[in-house]
């Protein structure tokens, strides 16, 4: 079998086209893959390291654009962070409450996690003034979800559109603790409020409608914060005036990055892949459950616990997928994997329904509209729903010119769709992958046989 021809072309404006030419006879994917570190855990390791006392050592940090944004912001706030170009990153913490007032605007780049979690910390640092911003995408994403509860804690935050859009200005205050009932299951909202609670006298509680990823809770405990969790009500309480101490953090591989290979291995006939060292925290494994519902052949091997997070190697063999319905409490546990699940659904028999996922409209792009438009350009049958998609599988995809809309997960999902599309697919603005998966293209070349 011939391998696909995969080329990355840099344009005059520095954006990149990823061109995937599938041989007429098709291809198969084989090999063992190691994936980059978990993005959510990487952000938190840098942030907690920065506000802890002493040194934090981070092994396996994601060296993508998003954690780089976090590192730059926390360096400007006074933490010393070693270069992000090795597998071991050291953070010299400044201790909670000790941010220096930065000389310039803090730029969170493309990263919602950076800006929202950082806002909780900034708002609770009395006597200092901060300004925060981000790229075009981040400046159009809603910040009211964190500004409102922070204001209930008496934070002072100003910004465009009635204080709901970045750039935002923050006058740090001594905050008061609250019990916040979040209307959305969002780890960014939960973590923002818990981080604000760290430097606030008393107990701060967040209750969410469904459980979102719990990496903050796990890591806060490991760094020495006093935290209590009520799983019955999805509530977390943090005790203020906390003291955090530097730790050794080992970041597992990102299941959101593994997801591309799990779907690729499922839909490309004759494939078998093993993705090594995948974080399988139960608040993140919705993708495994959804693929199991679709009849995927996926096995977890060598299951273990590494530095407080469950980890496994994941084996996938190709199989004929079938449609399913993805809705309800599973959504927060696979929210970032819906673009690649949409690709899986285009190759599944029957009609897949995705609902309760309106959050997708306020991610790095409107992932409902963009995925529907781009997959339909390749001949898929995707209909937008207000809060999801209806995808009728089984039509053969045809190579086309598609666009990531500068959204990393869209670009990579389209690349996987291209492996099973006839002819040539060109993915414009494919450089977006570097946000969470800098070596995506080289791994793609490696596994295509
Ligand atoms: C993240 C939480 C999720 C997720 C994002 C990372 C985090 O966002 O989509 O990619 O690290 O806390 P929401 O909290 O907005 O759902």
Give, in order, the Cα–Cα distances in Å from 303 to each of 47, 314, 322, 438: 28, 9, 27, 26
pLDDT for 370: 98
pLDDT band for position 449 (cuts 50, 70, 90): confident
Catalytic residue among 254, 336, 403, 407: 336
Q: Measure 112 CA to ligand 1 centroid, in angstroms.
A: 7
Give me the count of residues in the chain. 449
pLDDT for 87: 76
pLDDT for 288: 98
Residue holding tokens 């391998």? 3
Which pLDDT tens digit goes with each residue over 410-419?
999 999 999 9
**Is 336 one of the annotated active-site residues of the chain?**
yes
Query: At a CB cut-off of 8 Å and minimum separation 6, what does 13 contact?
Result: none
Determine if ligand 1 sits within 6 Å of the CB of residue 186. yes
pLDDT for 1: 65
**Mean pLDDT, range 7-19, rounded to an integer:** 95
pLDDT band for position 3 (cuts 50, 70, 90): confident
pLDDT for 37: 97
Residue 365 has pLDDT above 80, yes or no: yes
Beta pairing partners, 137: none
Q: Measure 43 CA to ligand 1 centroid, in angstroms.
A: 11
Give the percent of the chain with pLDDT over 90.
97
Closest protein CA for atom 11 of ligand 1? 40
Closest protein CA for atom 4 of ligand 1? 336
pLDDT for 38: 98
Residue 2 has pLDDT above 80, yes or no: no
Residue holding tokens 């959050």? 359
Mean pLDDT of the chain: 97
The CA dihedral of 330, 334, 336, 339, to the nearest 10 degrees, is -90
Beta pairing partners, 389: 354, 384
Residue 209 CA to residue 444 CA, distance in Å, equals 38
Determine if ligand 1 sits within 6 Å of the CB of residue 187. yes
Please name each of the domains of the chain with its CATH number.
6-37+252-447 (3.65.10.10), 39-250 (3.65.10.10)
Q: Which residues are annotated as a binding site?
A: 39-40, 44, 112, 141, 186, 188, 336, 363, 367, 409
Q: Measure 17 CA to ligand 1 centroid, in angstroms.
A: 27
pLDDT band for position 353 (cuts 50, 70, 90): very high
pLDDT band for position 27 (cuts 50, 70, 90): very high
Token readout for 167 is 């750039």
pLDDT for 243: 95
């Amino acid at each position: 079998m011939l391998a696909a021809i995969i080329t990355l072309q840099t344009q005059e404006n520095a954006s990149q086209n990823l061109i995937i030419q599938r041989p007429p006879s098709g291809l198969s994917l084989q090999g063992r893959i190691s994936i980059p570190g978990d993005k959510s855990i990487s952000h938190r390791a840098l942030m907690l390291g920065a506000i802890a006392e002493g040194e934090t050592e981070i092994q396996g940090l994601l060296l993508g654009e998003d954690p780089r944004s976090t590192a730059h912001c926390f360096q400007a706030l006074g933490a010393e962070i070693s270069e992000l170009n090795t597998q071991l990153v050291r953070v010299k913490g400044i201790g909670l409450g000790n941010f220096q007032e930065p000389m310039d605007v803090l730029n969170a780049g493309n990263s919602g996690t950076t800006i929202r979690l950082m806002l909780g910390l900034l708002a609770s640092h009395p006597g200092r003034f901060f300004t925060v911003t981000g790229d075009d995408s981040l400046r159009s994403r809603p910040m009211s979800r964190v500004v409102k509860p922070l204001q209930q804690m008496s934070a002072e935050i100003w910004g465009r559109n009635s204080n709901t859009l970045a750039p935002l200005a923050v006058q740090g205050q001594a905050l008061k603790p609250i019990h916040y009932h979040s209307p959305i299951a969002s780890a960014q909202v939960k973590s923002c409020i818990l981080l604000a609670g760290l430097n606030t006298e008393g107990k701060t509680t967040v209750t969410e409608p469904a459980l979102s990823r719990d990496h903050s809770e796990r890591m806060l405990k490991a760094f020495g914060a006093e935290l209590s969790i009520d799983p019955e009500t999805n509530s977390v309480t943090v005790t203020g005036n906390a003291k955090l101490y530097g730790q050794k953090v080992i970041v597992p591989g990102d299941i959101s990055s593994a997801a591309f290979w799990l779907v690729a291995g499922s839909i490309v006939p004759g494939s078998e892949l093993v993705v090594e060292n995948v974080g399988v925290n139960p608040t993140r494994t919705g993708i495994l459950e959804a693929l199991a519902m679709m009849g995927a052949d996926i096995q977890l091997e060598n299951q273990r616990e590494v530095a407080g997070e469950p980890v496994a190697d994941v084996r996938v063999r190709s199989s004929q997928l079938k449609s399913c319905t993805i809705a309800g409490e599973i959504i927060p546990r696979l929210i970032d994997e819906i673009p690649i699940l949409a690709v899986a659904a285009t190759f599944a028999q029957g009609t897949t329904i995705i609902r309760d996922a309106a959050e997708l409209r306020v991610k790095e792009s409107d992932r409902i509209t963009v995925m529907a438009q781009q997959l339909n350009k390749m001949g898929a049958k995707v209909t937008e729903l207000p809060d999801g998609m209806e995808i009728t599988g089984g039509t053969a995809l045809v190579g086309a010119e598609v666009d990531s809309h500068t959204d990393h997960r869209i670009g990579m999902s389209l690349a996987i769709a291209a492996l099973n599309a006839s002819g040539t697919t060109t993915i414009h603005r494919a450089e977006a992958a570097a946000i969470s998966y800098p070596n995506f293209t080289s791994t793609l070349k490696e596994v295509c046989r």
